[in-house]
Amino acid sequence: MAKKLSLILTFFISSLLLSAQSDVSFYGYLKNLAMYYKPVEPVAVSETKTLDYLMLNQLHNRLNFRYFATEKLTFALEARNRIYMGQMIREFPDYEEMIDTDNGFLDLGTVLISADSWFFHTMLDRAWLDYTSGKWQVRLGRQRINWGTNLVWNPNDVFNTFSYFDFDYEERPGTDGIRVQYYTSVTSSAELVYKIGRNSNESAIAGMYRFSKFNYDVQFLSGWVGKDYVLGGGWAGNIKGAGFRGEATWFKPRDKDDETNFETFVASVSGDYTFANSLYLHFGTLFNSYGTTGDAGGRSFFTPNISAKMLSMGRYQLFSQVSYPLTPLFYVNLSAMLNPCDGSSFIGPDFSYSLADNWEIMLNGQFFFGRSGTEYGEYGQAIYARVKWAF
């Protein structure tokens, strides 16, 4: 606890010192997210007490700093400061432990204050030093390594996979490691990433080569990530104005005698199009060779440690989305997912309104349907309301 606290305090002290200099950028946001959740079945919180619904409120502040030390050297620190409060904290004390989970090599998060029905958690999810010279770029520290091309499922995003359902974390997770990039031309580059781990099963080293051909951005990757060798590739382009993206990764266990690990091939393809009247359509599909064609329940999509190897428990997934700005300030969106094998589904309506240049309100729903034991059948229904101020 003392070690983690000292790291957090170092961040804030450094930020205050740097903010007085002209070669520093500082920005962030403050938002409040309220959740109402109704499970499929009442939740037992004791031998005599059950709850038909749960409520949670989260006050979230983000601080982003950039220090441009020289033309070649940049230093970044970014922190998430969140206060969780409400019924869910009071009834489920283990929720605090789940939030205070850092999957990086360094544990850069800590609970500063805790009480019966609320707690204050802070975490550094970005802390890196970047050196750029000519065609070379080297970045060391906790950083976002985004190798995906699709908008929902990313089999190529082997370092820091994200969940589509975690809509409130726009920045997405980061990785502790070093990234070396060499820009072979204006439209092509090669990069090598080493993820720091406590052992070989938590470490990773992989490379990627990107280039453009026939108006398409193409990429290939290979290496080992955790317990697996990986080999994959992807593309992003368009067909007559419609976006066309795809990516696939093959995961092969490094230890063939490890019965807890498995070989799989994961692929996703998507297309999207924006009409002249600003109507937006998006469709996608996911294939996981290890996924089941039967009932695919048994895992939570809200775990903080999701993997590109298991983006779905089912073998197939379908996605669709339609969105439209009713006015320049009022935006409506409807997304849906379907597991065609077990018939379970997800529907997510989303309404957002811009109050001003830096103020926004949002109403979001996450509604899961299906029989017990299916992929989406045991999650229930949730409604979120959010107010956000960016600065």
What are 83-103's pLDDT values in tens digits?
999 999 999 988 999 999 898
What confidence score (pLDDT) does residue 18 get? 54
What confidence score (pLDDT) does residue 359 get? 97
Query: What is the residue-averaged pLDDT of the chain?
Result: 93
What confidence score (pLDDT) does residue 297 get? 84
What percent of the chain lies above the pLDDT cut of 70?
A: 92
> Mean pLDDT over residues 364-375, rounded?
96
Using CA atoms, how far apart are residues 221 and 230, in angstroms rounded to an integer? 8
pLDDT at 376 over 70: yes
> Mean pLDDT over residues 225-252, rounded?
97
What confidence score (pLDDT) does residue 44 get? 87
pLDDT in tens, 250-300: 999 999 888 889 999 999 999 999 999 999 999 999 999 999 999 998 666
What confidence score (pLDDT) does residue 93 get? 86
Residue 1 pLDDT class (50, 70, 90 cuts): low
**Predicted TM-score of the model (pTM):** 0.89
